[in-house]
Structure 1
Amino acid sequence: MVESLCVRIKGKANKADVVVGVYYQLPSQGDNTNELSYKELRDISRSAALVLMGDFNFPDINWEYPVDGYSRKFLKHVEDNFLLQVLSELTRILLDLLFVNREGLMGKEVIEFQIIGDRRKIASKTSTLDMGRADFRLLKELVSKVPWESAFEGIGVHECWSLVK
């Protein structure tokens, strides 16, 4: 199982958007799950600016001489997608890897980062019905008066649904 969440942060004026992702991967997962996570890794690494961090569960990964199959395959996907590993030491939290897809996006010493930006509330122009004020008793009474068998006689499922809508 892989859990991930990516958020695109809109850049101001002439600044590019940044995608920030968090990732958790169970240890010793199957090949099918690994393939799905590699596809996801490939898709998000195409972002203009990416910061991807999380617990990838490769505690014994060797960046210079990958040994086992899972670590080797993972490192190949990291390399194929031009991801750069930023952390050089183990952290005290559940973050074991931090990747960027562009040099200079983050420094070598990462302690904390803040996302500072304007929050905008977007006003929706879509009107919605207030179902709390609906008269369901009247609706039930009206629906019960329809002769459904004769109304649906000789027509297909799609036509029936269109009639109900």
Structure 2
Amino acid sequence: MGNKQEELEATVLLESYDLVAITETWWAESHDWSAAINGYKLFRRDRQGRRGGGVALYIKKWIECEELSLKNSHESVESLWVRIGDQGNKGNLVVYYRPPDQGEPIDEAFSLQLQDALCSQALVLLGDFNHPNICWKTRTVSCRQSRRLLECIEDNFLSQVIDSPTRGDAILDLLVTNELIDDVKIGGSLGCSDHTLVEFTVLRDMGQAKSKIRTLNFRKANFQLFKELVHREITLRDKGAEQSWQIFKDAFHRVQELLIPRCKKSGNKGKRQAWMS
């Protein structure tokens, strides 16, 4: 991504994507300062020990999300698993890069990770799988490793929705999901990349991060007792205006903390319109 980072940032901000998945980032620790994009959280997994590879996810900051730690994690599997929250439901978003020369043991390790992720009802799995010998129209394969991936997708009632070539004449970049997907667009590229861009829409509402701000709940206040306690604590005889105001304010705040409960602050969604005469 080194020579494409500025173009990536400009494209992401211009299109205002909610989620952006990238494979073959070729990032290392030296890219920490340049990889961030304003308004987005960045999740990344860099290849260790040798150049190339790597995956990353940019997710808008208002979306509730967290990186998953899988019990079947494997250091050689280049995958990134993030849980997305919405309206009380959870879904897993996965970006995966499979090198062309990846062996069967690592393929199997990824399959075990996928089984863990399927404990969640919703799954969106995307990335460069490098299985050019799968014909997705006829669901036929010509090698054992590719057949294992196809069986895993079908056995878990998942769908692969990319039906046009993403590199040359081959479908290497896949979108595997059990979600409703719409408006899939394949075309264009980033910089001089020989892989095409894939755009799509997930038909579900993304939930905003839960607010940790707590506010006073006046609906549950006991105002009669409130008035009595404030009156009992205030003595303003022979006090000047400034001192009287300070005494009243301090007493008011003490009683407020004692009698008015707090609740989580809600957003504007679902808020009733203000009454007007």
Q: Provide TM-score, normalisation by structure 1.
A: 0.60
CA distance in structure 1 between the partners assigned to 2:124 and 2:146 by the alignment: 21
Q: Secondary structure at the match of 2:95?
A: strand
- Of structures 1 and 2, the one scoring higher in RCO (CA 8 A, sep 6+) is 1
Seq. identity, %: 40
Larger radius of gyration: 2
Amino acid at match of 1:71: S
Q: Secondary structure at the match of 1:88?
A: coil
CA distance in structure 2 between the partners assigned to 1:36 and 1:74 by the alignment: 12
Amino acid at match of 1:101: N
Higher strand proportion, which one?
2
2:91 to 11, 14, 18: 18
- How far is the alpha carbon of 1:74 from its aligned partner? 1.3
Alpha carbons 1:53, 1:95 under 8 Å: kept = no
Partner of 1:73: 148
CA distance in structure 1 between the partners assigned to 2:85 and 2:95 by the alignment: 17
Q: CA RMSD in A?
A: 2.7
Once the two structures are superposed, residues 82-113 of structure 1 have per-residue CA deviations (whole angstroms, 9 ceiling, x without a partner) of 11001111236x971001124xx212624245
Within 5 Å, give how 1:11-160 maps onto structure 2: 11-12=86-87, 16-63=89-136, 64=138, 65-91=140-166, 96-102=173-179, 105-107=180-182, 109-110=184-185, 111-113=199-201, 117-119=207-209
Long gaps (5+) in structure 1: 124-165
CA distance in structure 2 between the partners assigned to 1:121 and 1:4 by the alignment: 30
Q: Secondary structure at the match of 1:17?
A: strand
Q: Provide TM-score, normalisation by structure 2.
A: 0.38
- How far is the alpha carbon of 1:26 from its aligned partner? 1.4
Bigger shift: residues 37-46 or 66-75: 37-46
Q: Secondary structure at the match of 2:181?
A: coil
How many pairs align?
A: 118
Long gaps (5+) in structure 2: 1-75, 186-198, 214-277
- How far is the alpha carbon of 1:45 from its aligned partner? 2.5
Partner of 1:9: 84
Change (3 A) 1:35 1:90: same
